[in-house]
């Protein structure tokens, strides 16, 4: 039996497969899952496929998304609990209500006092367990409604801080006002909130201008498959599949 039939027959998909996908900017995580479901139905002839992802990425973020099928969907919570690593860019001297590029800049701040050494020092203050307030523009539910509902309808609501763990926060390049970073963190961490808090600790402002997830546990982006190729053609040469023991 050739590779294609071994990996993509209906039995294997129902028993459970794990796919590493590179989510492009502009896609929701749900759209990636829907596209994979459509292709796998065509590949296997199945009318219904149980499928889900292990950790949402914002539409403006790109990178590693773990997609599970069949019985492997029962393991999704295990991948969600893994440490995650991101690269990206903070823009200093300004802020936005969403803490990223979803909304327009609302405030401008002074940056003359910020040096490279200060930025590296401030980054280290986030290492360990920290208390973080999620962005108002997020999908967390309060009183039955998503937080972004309150933000988009100019309604106020109290957002509780949550404990998250930052194991690594490195400034990898500075091209002021752009600051590149590498961050490893626990489940539930909002990099947008880190950007906002980073700016505040610098006595200035900052927002997230780019974000890419490059690792979840021991799964890395280099082993992921691009959605662009899935759209063009699905075949044994186009879909990377990682079978979980």
Provide the annotated active-site residues. 58
Burial class (CB in 10 A: 0-12, 13-18, 19+), 103: middle
Beta carbons of 23 and 211 less than 8 angstroms apart: no
Q: What are phi and psi of 152, to 5 degrees?
A: -75, -15
Contact partners, residue 38, CB within 8 Å, separation at least 6: none
Bridge pairing between strands 18-23 and 62-69 = antiparallel
């Amino acid at each position: 039996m050739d590779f294609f039939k071994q990996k993509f027959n209906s039995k294997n998909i129902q028993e459970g497969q794990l796919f590493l996908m590179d989510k492009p900017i502009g896609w929701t995580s749900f759209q990636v899952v829907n596209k994979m479901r459509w292709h796998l139905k065509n590949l296997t002839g199945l009318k219904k496929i149980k499928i889900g992802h292990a950790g949402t990425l914002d539409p403006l973020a790109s990178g590693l998304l773990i997609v599970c099928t069949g019985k492997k969907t029962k393991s999704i919570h295990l991948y969600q609990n893994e440490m995650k690593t991101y690269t990206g860019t903070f823009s200093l001297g300004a802020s936005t209500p969403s803490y990223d590029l979803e909304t327009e800049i609302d405030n401008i701040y002074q940056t003359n006092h910020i040096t490279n050494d200060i930025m590296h020092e401030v980054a280290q203050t986030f290492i360990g367990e920290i208390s973080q307030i999620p962005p108002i523009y997020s999908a967390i539910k309060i009183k039955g409604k998503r937080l972004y509902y309150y933000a988009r309808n100019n309604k106020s609501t109290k957002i509780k801080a949550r404990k998250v763990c930052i194991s690594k926060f490195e400034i990898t390049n500075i091209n002021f006002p752009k600051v590149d970073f590498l961050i490893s963190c626990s489940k539930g961490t909002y990099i947008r909130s880190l950007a906002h808090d980073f700016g505040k600790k610098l006595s200035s402002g900052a927002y997230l201008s780019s974000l890419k997830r490059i690792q979840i546990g021991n799964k890395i982006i280099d082993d992921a498959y691009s959605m662009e190729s899935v759209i063009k053609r699905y075949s044994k040469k186009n879909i990377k599949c990682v079978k979980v023991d």
